[in-house]
Structure 1
Amino acid sequence: MRIGIVGAGIGGLTTALALTRQGADCVVLEQRPEPAEDGTGIQISPNAAAALLGLGVRLDFAVPVASRELRRWADGTVLGRTDLSRYRVPYLTMRRGQLTEALREAPVHFGRRCVTVCDDGAGVVLGFTDGTEDRFDAVIGADGLHSAVRAAVGPADPRYSGLVASRAVLPSAGPHRVTVWLGPGRHCVTYPIAPGLLNLVVVTPADQPPDRPVRVTGDRLLPYFDGWHPAVRELIDAAGELEQRALYDLPPVSPWCRGRVMLIGDAAHPILPFIAQGAAQAIEDAVTLARCTDLSGFEALRRDRVRQVYEMSRAGLRVHHLPDGAEQRIRDAALATADPGAHDWLYRPRSYAAGS
């Protein structure tokens, strides 16, 4: 089969790699004019790392992370700690651009912005902004949150969360762990992505979402963190300029497949980043799709798990941001006594045998 994959992000490139391993002829179509140099960080949990390693992807540039700590916003008290070294595959953090480069094996045609999708029963014709067309046996939409392919499957508008995430990379030689500072209405995340480099993510409320990524300075964000622990304020102050994006999600209820057109990753089920599973679930989508004996069965194999991940991520919208009070104290007590294996259902490496 000749398969067109719209989008050269992590989901699209993993799909192309996995399908190529199964003998498909894949072409990746990307609207950007050239590869982006993305030095910001990404977390790849063991469930996704195992899938990538199973495809032969080299991840020797990644940082193995031993734990995740949840800390209180004002005094830095450790509220809970997850042992991430308990799995047979490590929990990895890295630069996003390094991962996409490691995944790029199938041909990628840059400067190809898809605007129309027509499934005529015998194949799928994609139309592009330059007026050209191309025909494929099947098309996979991996074109993210504002997917052009989604309209051919099941039109749906992502839902704005009321939050924006601002990201930057700082020079730092911190410990090999993910740290999440939880506070009223906002939170802050740090983790290493290379020797001497720390990824910083600052999540704050915003009445209106920016319609495209914007640049903000740390001093604009600091007023959101009045009274927070000095360590958090120092990180934001040292960040200089950060890239800010709105956070959206979409309940996994609309169809992901129609005829010869399929959606994966954020095109099918955008997830809030509060448990760092957006890229991981796109990777799981990719390897599941590639090993389906019948591509039409892909959605049935993935829907229940994606819904569980979506609901846990959506809960973080409230649980991460509780104001001080009785509910916050109940949350903190639950974090302190959490079962060490509470995340095993999510992180344990999975089997991707055909049809399973």
Structure 2
Amino acid sequence: MKALIVGGGIGGLSTAIALRLRGWDVSVFEQAPALTEVGAGLQISPNGWHVLEALRVSAHMTRTLFEPEAIEMRLGVSGRQVFSLPMKGYAAQRWGAPYIHIHRVDLVDALVERLNELLPDAVQTGLGVSGYDPDGAVVFTDGSRASGDLVVGADGLHSAVRQQMLGPDKPRYTGNIAWRAVVPVDELDRPPPPTACVWAGDRRHAVTTRLRAGTLANFVGMVEESEPAPEGWRIEGSRDDAMAAFDGWHPIVAGLIAKAPVLNRWALFDRTPLPRWHEGQVTLLGDAAHPMLPSMAQGAVQALEDAWTLAAVLDEAASVEAGLQRYFDLRIDRTARIQAGSAANARMFHKATPLGSIAFYGPMAIGARIVPRLIHARQDWVYRHDVTQAV
């Protein structure tokens, strides 16, 4: 069986590995001239780590990952800690796998290394896909074609595969723009804590993490704005604009912005859950199927879950079409719930006006200190889920 995978990101590469482990021939078509990723950090929760272990990718990541001491929330201006929940060691104890940070580039490199072990030269760059035939063929932008038994549209928010399948539409602007930057820790006067830290503010929030075994500091800032910025991870923004967006914030946040060699800025879009993800022998995966805000750190992880689930159900299905329907049935409720939860988290992180801080975060802080397990338990449905055992 031959799979044609459109998109060489985390979802596409993971799908290629998962299918290859089950005997499929795979080709990955990436429109960019090379598999280069913008500098950005990812949080991989235990539900994602289970997939990386099953794909045997985790061994390629050990030198570059970072395991945070805790997940915490602080107020953006004062830096006052709202709560801190232990993660290092505790995550594996509670959810069966660690919670880690990794540079997106390092994860893509690890996936490519693993795929090359299984099938060298499976990735073909500089090949844009403009459409498909439902019987399992893709049409390239130069008019040429390739045929197979399955087409996977892992081509992101502006998916050409989804547009053909469901018609032209525009993604929904969420009212938020995002800033991203990565800075060497030794260049910072006040580096961020060795945690996954949410800095909550008035109509904005930031997240700081560590990457590359703790040597890099990663910054993500989300700000409510009525007018969207251009959409795209490689669009550089103005340092003055970023400083103004977080004016008066804690020196850790301000220092990251001041020392960032590049500050990328783009608008955040999502879509309501789609009515279907497949047509004939063609299906969607990852952001092409269910784009979500980064406020639960689940975008990449849900693509990993998609990849394993898709390969597993196809291994048991009577036909490709039957397998694609089963894949959709297994994934749609979970991804829709996480999309909604990500949007809800963004609203929660933006309540830190003086009055809102006391009313909203006060009970949360007390609860986290008295019964921290209750806060951890709110994540059980996300982190304990293991698609490698569930299908």
The interval holding the TM-score normalised by the smaller chain is over 0.9
Q: How does 1:104-183 map to 2 (within 5 A)?
A: 104=112, 105=115, 106=119, 107-119=122-134, 123-155=135-167, 156-172=169-185, 174=191, 175-183=193-201
Distance 1:321 1:242, change over 3 A: same
Q: Which ranges of structure 2 fall in alignment gaps of 5 or more residues?
A: 318-322, 369-373
User: Within 2, Cα distance between the matches of 1:42 and 1:113?
Assistant: 26
User: How many residues align structurally?
Assistant: 352
The AA in structure 1 aligned to 2:174 is S
Q: How does 1:284-323 map to 2 (within 5 A)?
A: 284-292=305-313, 293-294=316-317, 295-296=323-324, 297-323=326-352
Q: Does structure 1 conserve the Cα–Cα contact (< 8 Å) formed by 2:229 and 2:265?
A: no
Q: Does structure 2 conserve the Cα–Cα contact (< 8 Å) formed by 1:218 and 1:240?
A: no
CA deviation after TM superposition for structure 1 residue 83, in Å: 2.6
- Percent identity reads 38
- Structure 1 residues 284-293 or 172-181, which shifts more? 172-181
Instruction: Spell out, residue by residue over 1:127-158, the C-alpha distance to the aligned partner (whole angstroms, 9 max, x if none).
Output: 11112111111101100000011023323432
Instruction: Spell out, residue by residue over 1:241-295, the C-alpha distance to the aligned partner (whole angstroms, 9 max, x if none).
Output: 2111221111223311222111111000001001110000000000011110232
Q: SS of the residue aligned with 2:67?
A: strand
Instruction: Spell out, residue by residue over 1:190-231, the C-alpha distance to the aligned partner (whole angstroms, 9 max, x if none).
Output: 111114211111222331231444212322211122232222
Q: SS of the residue aligned with 2:102?
A: strand
Distance 1:6 1:315, change over 3 A: same
1:266 corresponds to which residue?
287
Q: Does structure 2 conserve the Cα–Cα contact (< 8 Å) formed by 1:164 and 1:204?
A: yes
TM-score (norm 2): 0.85
Q: How does 1:5-84 map to 2 (within 5 A)?
A: 5-57=5-57, 58=59, 59-60=61-62, 61-84=64-87
CA deviation after TM superposition for structure 1 residue 90, in Å: 1.1
Q: Which ranges of structure 1 fall in alignment gaps of 5 or more residues?
A: none
Instruction: Spell out, residue by residue over 1:77-107, the C-alpha distance to the aligned partner (whole angstroms, 9 max, x if none).
Output: 1112233232221111111111111112150
The AA in structure 2 aligned to 1:90 is P
User: Within 2, Cα distance between the matches of 1:150 and 1:332?
Assistant: 40
Q: Does structure 2 conserve the Cα–Cα contact (< 8 Å) formed by 1:3 and 1:136?
A: yes
The AA in structure 2 aligned to 1:311 is A
RMSD over equivalenced CA pairs, Å: 1.8
Distance 1:347 1:56, change over 3 A: same
Instruction: Spell out, residue by residue over 1:280-313, the C-alpha distance to the aligned partner (whole angstroms, 9 max, x if none).
Output: 0000000011110232200111112112211110
Q: SS of the residue aligned with 2:302?
A: helix
The AA in structure 2 aligned to 1:130 is D
Q: SS of the residue aligned with 2:110?
A: helix
- Structure 1 residues 152-161 or 189-198, which shifts more? 152-161
Which structure dedicates a bigger proportion of its chain to strand? 1
Q: Does structure 2 conserve the Cα–Cα contact (< 8 Å) formed by 1:152 and 1:261?
A: no
1:346 corresponds to which residue?
382
1:204 corresponds to which residue?
223
TM-score (norm 1): 0.93
User: Within 2, Cα distance between the matches of 1:329 and 1:140?
Assistant: 48
Instruction: Spell out, residue by residue over 1:147-203, the C-alpha distance to the aligned partner (whole angstroms, 9 max, x if none).
Output: 011023323432111222111111116543111111011111111111421111122
2:371 corresponds to which residue?
none
